[in-house]
Amino acid sequence: MGITNYIIEHLDEALQQGWIQVYYQPVIRTLTGEVCGFEALARWIDPQVKFLPPNSFIPVLEQSRQIHKLDTFILHSVCQTLHERQEKGLPVVPVSFNLSRLDFEMTDIFAGIEETLREFDLTRDLLHVEITESLFAEDLGPIRKTSEALRQAGYQVWMDDFGSGYSSLNVLKDFSFDLIKLDMEFLRHFTENSRQIITSVVDMAKRLGLHTLAEGVETREQADFLFSIGCECLQGYLFDKPEPLEKAIACMQQQGRAWEERKNIHYYNAAGMAIHQTDSSLALVEFSGNREKTYHFLYANQAFREELISFGQHLHTIEQMINENKNRDARRLYEFFYNANLTGHKETEFFVSGTHYLRVQAQAVAKVENNTIFTTTVKNIQLDRDYREQDYLDNNLRRLYTLYNVIDLVDLEQETIETIYGHGRLAKYVDRRVRNLRQAQEVFCQHCIYYKDQARYRTFVRPETIKQRLAASEDGVLRNYFRTLSKPGEYRWQEHTIMLVPGSKQKQHLYLCKDALPDGVGPHLVACPDTVEAPSAREARLLWENQLAYSGFAFFWKDNKRRFLGASRSFLDYFGVTLQDILGKTDEDMGWHIDETPYREDEERILNEGVYIENSANQCIIRGVLHRITAFKHPVYDNGKIVGLAGMFFDVDQVTRTSKEISHAAYEDPVTNLMNRRGFLAALLSYQEQALLQKQPFTLIVLNNENYSRTISSYGRAISSELLQKEADCLRRVAGKNSVIARMSAGIFTVLHFSSRKDNEPLAFSLKKALEEIHEVKGNSVTLRIHLSLVDNEEADITAENIYRIALSRLS
C-alpha cells in the first residue's frame, strides 16, 4: 500500500490511538527574550511507518478532504493542554495553530473555535489563528468572512508565509490581520538584498499597524539583524525546534527564558510598534518603578549609539549614570523622563556635555502598572551644525544655562511667559501654548512652591509692582528664596531671580531659578510680609491637644515606613484599641483590611510622590464587622522633605445615618457611578411598592462575568476598573433610561426593569451579548463570560428579601 493510501485510510485510527501529536515551537519576543507564544504543529508518529513529516500527510489530507479532522483535533488538544496548565496554576502563553482552506469550507471553524474555547474555559487572547498567504490570494468568500468574524470576536489572525506567494501585497491591501509571519525563505539566503527586503517589509507592516514575526531563524546573526530592524517576534531552530511541550518548556528553561505575563502583552506590543526605520537616533528606554527605580535600554538603533559615541558615551554608561542619580545631569535626565511620563507628550530637554550641546527627546509609548517605556532620541547639535570651531566663550556661556533649573522669558506688556530652558514640569497643568503669565505663575505657585512660602511667592512675582521694585533695586535684579519642588515629594530652597533684559526697554525680564544652598540649611530670607498671622506656639499646642482629645474626628499620622506614630482619641475608640496597640505598627500588622493593596499603594504614592488622597472609599474590619470608610490623606513635610503621612477618615454609614440624608456616595459604586448594592436594595423596595400599587410586574436581571477575577489577576486593579466602567457604559446604552442598573460586587451587575420575565428576555440577551462583545480594555485583550439569570416578582414565593439570592442561584 502506498503511503498516500495509508494516510487516507489510517487518519481516524491515528487520531484515536494518539499517533498524532502536537509539537510546540516557541516564539520569542525580541525586546525581552521572553517566550511570548508557541506554534502548534502536527506530528504523525506511526507505529508502522514511524515518523511522518507534515509535508507528507498534510497535502494528502487536504486532497482527501479530511484535513479538518486533523485541525479540529489539534485545536482541541491545544485547548486541553492550556486548560490543564491553567487549572494547575502554571503559566500559559498564547498558542497559534494552522488552518487550511478546507477548514473554512467544510466546517464552521469559527463556531468550532468558540465552542472549544468555552469548553476549556480559556480567554481568546490564548489562541491565534495562522492562515497561509496563498489561501487569501484567492479571496475565497468563506475565508474572508471567517477571518473577519474571528478578529471581530477578539482573536488574532496571523498571515503565515508572508512573501512566499506572488500576491502578498495585494492580500495586505484587501484583508485585515494582526500579524504577518515572514516566510523563512527570506532568511534562507541571507544576502544584502534579502536584508533590504526584510527591512522594508517589517517597516511597511508597522506602518499598516501589523505586528511582525520572522520564522526559520537559525543563526544569531539573523536574530541580531531582525532585532536591529525592529522585528518583534522570532521563531526558529536557533531557539528550539518543534517538540513535545514538556521538552520545549525544558529547553526554554535551560536558556533562562521566562514566559511573558499576560499584562505585558499589550505593553511590549505597543513598545515594539514604536521602533521604526529612521536615519535619526532612536532608542527605547524602560523605567521600572516597582522596587528600586531603574532605567534600562531595551533597544537602540545604530544612529543612537553613534550619537552617544560622538560625545564619549555608551548605552551602559548612560544607563549607569541615570540609575546612580548622583550628579546634576543625571538628576535632570531622571526628572526629564519622570515628567515625560506624566505629560504623555513628546518632551525636549537640552544638555551640555563637555563641549557638546545635546538635545534629548522622549515620549512615553507604553505603560503597565509602574513601568513605562519611552521612545528616546538624542542629537548632538554641535556636530550637527558643524560648530566644532565654536569659540571658547560661547561654549562656556552656554554652560551657564545648566546652573539654572528654569529660565523663563517674561513679557510684562503682553503678559506672556516663555520657557527658554528648564523642565516642563508644569506641562501637566498648563497648556504651554497659552503662555498666560498670570495663569502660569499661579499654577507654578500652587504646584511647585511649598505652601508656607506661597504667600511670599505671590508677592514676589506680582506683575504690577515689578517695574517699581526693579527700579528701586540697586542692580536691576530682584532675588528671593522659596522652597521649590525639586523632585516629586521634595522641596528645596531655590533662589528665584527676576532680571531685566537689557535693551528691551523694561518690557521684558528673565525669570531664573536655581538651587540655593545645601539641603537643610535655610537661607536668610529677604523680607516679604506674610499674609496670614501664624498662631503662637502655645496656641498651636493647645489646639492640637484639644483636637486629639475631643474633636470627634478619627485621624492619625505615620512615619515614612507607614508605621503609626499617633492617632486621635476618636480613632482609637473607633477601632477599640489603645495607642500602645498601634504605635510602630502598619495597617497590615493590624490586619484591618480585607484587601491591603489599595491602602499600601495609596500611602506609598503619598510618601514617594507627594500626592494627596481624597475621598478614597475603602472597607475595614472592626470587631468582625465590615465598615465602609472614606479617607483623606496627605504627606507630612518637615522642612520641605516628606517625613511621613497623616490622614483622617469617616465611616460612611455613620455619616449618612447621622446626617439622616440620603447621601449619594453611600448608594453609588465609585468605580462605575452606577448604584451599589445598597442603592440596588433601595431601588428594589421602590419597585416592589410600585408593583403592589399599580399591579405591574418587574424583573430582575443578573449578569455575572465569570472571568472577572481572571482579569484582576492578569492585569491588576486599574485595568479591571476600566473594564467595569466599559461594562457599565455598555449596560447604560443597551438597557436604556427606564432601567435601574447596579453593580453588586466584583463582576456582578443587576438590572431592574418593569414588565414580566418573558418580556425581558430579549433585553437580557442583548445585555449579555453586548457585554461579551467587549474584547479589549486599553489595548489589553479580555474575554467576558457572562452568566445570566432573570427572576420576576410574580413568580411563586418571590419577595424583595430573596429575589437577588434566587437570581444568583439561577445564574447559568
Which residues in this chain contact ligand C2E in the complex, by CB under 6 A?
25, 41-42, 53-55, 58, 67, 70-71, 74, 98-100, 160-161, 184, 215-218, 236-237, 242
Contacts of 24 (CB under 8 A, 6+ apart): 38, 39, 40, 41, 95, 242, 243, 244, 245, 248
Task: Pick the closer one to ligand C2E by CB: 140 or 621.
Answer: 140
Q: Does 98 bind Ca ion (CB under 5 A)?
A: yes
Task: Pick the closer one to ligand C2E by CB: 54 or 488.
Answer: 54
* Least separation in angstroms between CB 65 and Ca ion: 21
Task: Pick the closer one to ligand C2E by CB: 242 or 635.
Answer: 242
Alpha-carbon distance of 496 to 485, in angstroms, equals: 13
* Least separation in angstroms between CB 131 and ligand C2E: 10
CB-closest chain residue to ligand C2E: 236
Q: Does 668 bind Ca ion (CB under 5 A)?
A: no
Task: Pick the closer one to ligand C2E by CB: 54 or 779.
Answer: 54
First to last CA, the chain: 52
| CB 649 within 8 Å of CB 629 | yes
Contacts of 102 (CB under 8 A, 6+ apart): 62, 65, 67, 68
* Among ligand C2E, Ca ion, none, partner that 242 touches (CB below 5 to 8 angstroms by kind): ligand C2E
* Among Ca ion, ligand C2E, none, partner that 603 touches (CB below 5 to 8 angstroms by kind): none
* Least separation in angstroms between CB 782 and ligand C2E: 28
Alpha-carbon distance of 54 to 119, in angstroms, equals: 28
Q: Does 103 bind Ca ion (CB under 5 A)?
A: no
| CB 405 within 8 Å of CB 329 | no
Task: Pick the closer one to ligand C2E by CB: 24 or 337.
Answer: 24
Alpha-carbon distance of 613 to 490, in angstroms, equals: 17
Q: Does 161 bind Ca ion (CB under 5 A)?
A: yes
Q: Does 71 bind Ca ion (CB under 5 A)?
A: no
Among 34, 130, 232, 668, binds Ca ion (CB under 5 A): 130
Residue list 630-649, contact with Ca ion (CB under 5 A): none
| CB 262 within 8 Å of CB 125 | yes
Alpha-carbon distance of 168 to 210, in angstroms, equals: 14
Task: Pick the closer one to ligand C2E by CB: 27 or 364.
Answer: 27
Q: Does 133 bind Ca ion (CB under 5 A)?
A: no
Q: Does 349 bind Ca ion (CB under 5 A)?
A: no
- From the list 797, 548, 724, the residue with the least C-alpha distance to 648 is 548
**H helical segments located in 610-756:** 652-659, 664-667, 677-694, 708-735
Residue list 12-41, contact with Ca ion (CB under 5 A): none
Alpha-carbon distance of 728 to 90, in angstroms, equals: 32
Question: Which amino acid does the sequence have at 29?
Answer: R
Q: Does 281 bind Ca ion (CB under 5 A)?
A: no
Contacts of 87 (CB under 8 A, 6+ apart): none
Beta strand ranges found along 543-669 (DSSP E): 554-559, 564-567, 613-622, 625-638, 641-651
Region near Ca ion per CB under 5 A, out of 59-67, 159-167, 168-176, 232-240: 159-167
Region near Ca ion per CB under 5 A, out of 7-15, 94-102, 369-377, 591-599: 94-102
C-alpha cell, 39: 506554534
- From the list 411, 403, 353, 340, the residue with the least C-alpha distance to 382 is 353
Question: Which amino acid does the sequence have at 581?
Answer: D
Task: Pick the closer one to ligand C2E by CB: 28 or 648.
Answer: 28
* Least separation in angstroms between CB 161 and ligand C2E: 6
Task: Pick the closer one to ligand C2E by CB: 76 or 144.
Answer: 76
* Least separation in angstroms between CB 5 and ligand C2E: 20
* Least separation in angstroms between CB 738 and Ca ion: 51
Region near Ca ion per CB under 5 A, out of 66-74, 93-101, 331-339, 727-735: 93-101
- Residues near Ca ion, by CB under 5 A: 98, 130, 160-161
